[in-house]
Amino acid sequence: MRLLATITTMLLFLFLVACSTQRAEIIYVDTIADPPDDMIDNPFFSPSQLPFEAPDFDDIRNDDYLPAFEEGMRQELQEIDAIVSNPAAPTFENTLVALERSGQLLTRVERVFFNMTSAHTNEAIQEIQSELAPRLAAHSDNIYLNSELFDRIDTLYENRDNLNLDGDSYQLLVDTHRDFVRAGARLSEEEQTRMREINERVSSLTTEFQEKLLAMTRERAVIVDDVDLLEGLSSDRIAAAGEAAEDRGHSGSYLLNITNTTRQPVLESLDNREMRQRVWEASAFRGTGEDGGIDTRPIVLELVALRSEQAELLGYPNFASYALEPQTAHNPDRVLDMLTNLIPAVIVNTEDEAADIRDLMSEDGIEDDLQPWDWEYYAEKVRQERYDLDDDEVRPYFELNRVLEDGVFYTMERLYGITFEERHDLPVYHPDVRVFNVFDEDGEQLGLFYADYFERDSKRGGAWMSSFVTQTRLLNQKPVIVNVLNIPPPATGEPALISFRNVTTLFHEMGHAVHGLFSDVNYPSQAGTAVPRDFVEFPSTFEEDWAIHPEVLANYAVHYETGEPIPDELLERIIAAREFNQGFDTYEYLGATMIDMEWHLLESDEIPSEVTGFENQSLEKYNLDHPAVPPRYKSTYFAHIFSGGYAANYYAYIWSEILAADAFAFMREQGGLTRENGDHYRNTILSRGGSREAMDLYHDFRGQEPDVDHLLRRRGLDTGD
């Protein structure tokens, strides 16, 4: 069964259920009517003939998407009708297995299309997305609110302990039943009608929010006419800014793109304070309608109201309670307890960092209050002074391809025995995209890995992993995984020298990638990253720490011109500097997390009339209202919660980091970077997907509950009290 778990985000990650039998195959094959004539040549009509069913981007055109979606929905509803019309009593095979096999055409087109909406969109794709949003929401409701279908699932669920199911199948039955109930299967007819209306509207709004975010990237880009205002940037970054301006029709100027977060990496380097303020304000005031620009505030308020109503229809006091129920945290109180317990140590560290920054500002003759556009600039100066680190000294040792091959791929081979081999014969959706075969130690190919690393106008901000194909023994499929980042491209002919922050992001996203590549489950609905939101970031965050492992760093940190390895003393300074500015980093993260929680703890009669005031009140409530440390995301451009499926779940990053820090500490105790450690982690966590409860998997790996002290030490927040 395809669980359209994030239908409101239009990412539509699929969850399919059950196991294979001949009876289920007969149900699936014999009940599908002939497709329209114009579908026969559609590239999505049948599985791709490329290796591992990889998408054939040479054949895919924008005009192919909508017909494939329409035929895919038609076919899936026919398959559902065949299940509910089956005169035989419901069994795991004739109900859940049939659900598992439904929707394969729709799955193929969804996985390609929704990657394109994020990684390489255009006006045609956006128009299709806007049209599809309410239709796909309605299609999902036609399945989850099908009373006859739910009756069959409910019958099996009530008799679940007598069905002699194996553990994976039992988990599927429990999860599927829960998902139908949470979708409204037990609501009255009138309530279901309202639920359909809400789902369709939410789907349209989240799509609109995503489209406006992309438009704001262009709208808020900063055009600089005087190169002297860019003093502090390296020559290669200035050259890249000149090319970016040229591409936008601003010949002779320089363009600074705005990244997805409130903070902007370029602020670390710009010497001109007024220029820094201009960049920061371009970022922080996005979506407010300032100067007649794009205004996302009405979308935010309507989404919050609709989600609150949806939760109350289903019997929950608020949307946060609804959203957290299937997560490992289970309820808002546990999340708030964890977060509020962190705040005191974070405030202490942040105030210490602010004091150091104010001292440097005074030395520069700046007597004004510390402002958010000052923080990163002077924090970088403190970092350079304390650790004797200069970005221009460090970046030449982090050339992108070297980091990827001798850092990320090297670590994956040392831990798991896998190797990556680039190939150039498969079609891609953009020239920047690279494709790699992934081989296991015994030479068997695990799947394909696509790497799309450079920012462009057609790509949304941030970094993510998605799948073109997920692993499943049932359907005999192997994974086709893609990692997408937004690294500033180098000027033509120049090497791609990247920040250490982007180095860490490469390792992070590879953690998601191997979670998909190592998947070894029967059911697609349990494959790879089909785990709770507050568990899915654990494997990715865990891989980050290998970026600073001395053996790994020494292998990839090589000067791009001389070939000389990074000096040991510079390595030591880089590692020591990792804990620097963690007060700020954690403070701004917690600010965004509390804004997310406060929006989604509202009841339907508590929705405010404006956005900024509510944000300010939320930050003040938790003593997170430092004027120089704004939240990492403000509501008007908070993609995670208003278009990315993380509503009431942004806490998941730090919740998962608790697991990641504990797991990494445990692995260090067991010998560190060894195959024995990697294989144990792969077998207990990465290969199991959602086939068991997430925390049961962690206990299998660790043998005990995680220790939160490892998180504090990882972030340098252990005050010693």
3-state secondary structure 438-499: EECCCCCEEEEEEEEEECCCCCCCCCEEEEEECCECCCCECCEEEEEEEECCCCCCCCCECC
DSSP class of 683: I
- The residue behind tokens 């491209």 is 489
Residue 437 Cα distances to 517, 523, 675, 686, angstroms: 11, 23, 21, 19
Catalytic-residue membership of 509: yes
CA distance 455 to 452: 9
Instruction: For 256, list phi and psi in degrees, rounded to 5.
Output: -110, 110
113 token code pair: 């299309």
**Contacting residues for 302 by C-beta, under 8 A, at least 6 apart:** 201, 205
**Contacting residues for 613 by C-beta, under 8 A, at least 6 apart:** none
Contact 643, 287 (CB under 8 A): no
How many residues are listed for the chain in this entry? Answer: 721
Left (φ > 0), alpha (ψ -120 to 50) or beta: where does 249 sit?
left
CA distance 435 to 426: 7
Pairing of strands 480-487, 434-439: unpaired
Q: Around Cβ 40, how many Cβ atoms within 10 Å?
A: 10
Contact 430, 120 (CB under 8 A): yes
382 SS3 class: helix
Contact 481, 471 (CB under 8 A): no
Active-site hit among 53, 309, 376, 509:
509
Question: What residues act catalytically?
Answer: 509
